[in-house]
Structure 1
Amino acid sequence: MLAAMPPTPTTPPEPGEAPIRDRGDACPGALRLHAAADGLLARLRLPAGRLTSRQVMVLADAAEEMGDGSLSVTSRGNAELRGLRDGCGAGLAALLADAGLLPSPTHERVRNIVASPAAGLDGLGHADVQLWARALDAALCAEPRAAALSGRFLFALDDGRGDVAGLGGDVTLVAALDGAVLLAAGTETFRLAAPGPGTATAAGAPAGTATGTTAVRAALACALAFLDAAEAAGTGAWRPRELPAGQHPDWAAALARAAITAEPVPSSPPPAPPPPAPGPLGDRALHVLAPLGRLTAGRLRALAEGADEVRLTPWRGVVVVGPSADRLPALAAHGLVTDPADARTGVTACTGTPGCAKSLADVRADAARAPGGPLPVHYSGCERRCGHPHGTRIEVTALDPDTYLLDGAPVPRTALAEAVAAARTKPMES
Structure 2
Amino acid sequence: MLAAMPPSPSIRPQGAEPPIRDRGDACPGALRLHSAADGQLARVRLPAGDLTVRQAQALADAADRLGDGHLSLTSRGNAELRGLPDGCGAELAALLRDAGLLPSAHHERIRNILASPLAGLDRNSPADVRRWARELDELLCASERATALSGRFLFVLDDGRGDVAGLGGDVSLVAEANRAGESAGSGGTALLRVGDDPAALRIAGPDAPRAALAAAEAFLTAAEASGSGAWRVRELPAEQRLTARRVAAHLHETGITSTYVTQAPAPASSPSPHSAAPGIIEGPDGTAALCVLAPLGRLTLAQWRLLTAVAADDGCGALRLTPWRGIVLPGLPAGTAASRLSALAAAGLITDPDSPWHRLGACTGRPGCAKSRTDVRTDAAAAVAAGTRVPDTTAVPDGLPVHWSGCERRCGHPHGAWVDVRATGEGYRVAVVRPDTAPPADDAPAPPAPPARSHTP
Q: Is the shorter-chain TM-score for this pair beyond 0.5, marking a shared fold?
A: yes
Q: Which moved more, 1:300-309 or 1:215-224?
A: 300-309
The separation in 2 between residues aligned to 1:124 and 1:340, in whole angstroms, is 22
Task: Give the conservation status (yes or no) of the 8 Å contact 1:217–1:258.
Answer: no
Give yes or no for the alignment of 1:404 onto 2:428. Answer: yes
1:190 corresponds to which letter in structure 2? A
Distance (Å, rounded) in 1 between the aligned partners of 2:145 and 2:95: 27
SS in 2 for 1:230: helix
Matches within 5 A, 1:281-296: 281-282=281-282, 283-296=287-300
What is residue 377 of structure 2 aligned with on the other side? Answer: 364
Tell me, in whole angstroms, the C-alpha distance in 2 between the residues paired with 1:168 and 1:389: 10
Task: Name 2:251's counterpart in structure 1.
Answer: 255
| Unmatched tracts of structure 2, length 5 or more | 1-9, 179-187, 312-316, 390-397, 432-439
**What is the distance in 2 between the residues matched to 1:112 and 1:173?**
14
What is the RMSD computed on CA atoms of the aligned residues?
2.1
CA distance in 2, matches of 1:325, 1:218: 41
Seq. identity, %: 61
Report which structure shows greater RCO (CA 8 Å, sep ≥6).
Answer: 2
- State whether structure 2 residue 223 is matched by structure 1 residue 230: yes
Letter in structure 2 aligned against 1:394: V
Match of 2:202 among 175, 184, 192: 192
3-state SS of 1:341 partner = coil
Over residues 135-182 of structure 1, what are the superposed CA-to-partner deviations in whole Å (9 max), with x where a residue is unaligned? 100000011110110000000000000000000000000001211101
Show the counterpart of 1:395: 420
Residues 50, 310 of structure 1: 8 Å contact kept: yes
- Give the equivalent residue in structure 2 for 1:216: 209
Letter in 2 for 1:92: L
**TM-fit CA distance, 1:127:** 1.1
Report the CA distance shift for 1:295/1:42 in structure 2 as closer, same or farther (over 3 A). Answer: same
* Alpha-carbon shift at residue 368 of structure 1 (Å): 1.4
Given the alignment, which residue of 238, 241, 258 partners 2:234? Answer: 241
Letter in 2 for 1:322: G
**Within 2, Cα distance between the matches of 1:170 and 1:269?**
15
The code of the aligned residue for 1:219 comes to A
Structure 2 match to 1:208:
none
User: What's the CA shift for 1:289?
Assistant: 0.3
Letter in structure 1 aligned against 2:361: T
SS of equivalent residue, structure 1 residue 366: helix
1:108-123 aligned within 5 A:
108-123=108-123
CA distance in 2: counterparts of 1:343 and 1:82, whole angstroms = 26
Question: How many Å apart are 1:61 and its aligned residue?
Answer: 1.3
1:264 paired with 2:264, answer: no
SS at match of 2:447: strand
Superposition TM-score, scaled by structure 1 size: 0.86
Mapping 1:77-226, distance limit 5 Å: 77-178=77-178, 179-186=188-195, 187-194=197-204, 211=205, 213-226=206-219
Q: TM-score, normalised by structure 2?
A: 0.81
1:416 Cα deviation from its structure 2 partner:
11
Aligned length: 388
Residue 368 of structure 2: aligned partner = 355
Matched to 1:57, the amino acid is: Q
| Deviations 1:287-310 (CA, angstroms, capped at 9, x unpaired) | 000000011111111111131210
- The ranges of structure 1 where at least 4 consecutive aligned residues each deviate by more than 4 angstroms after the TM superposition are none
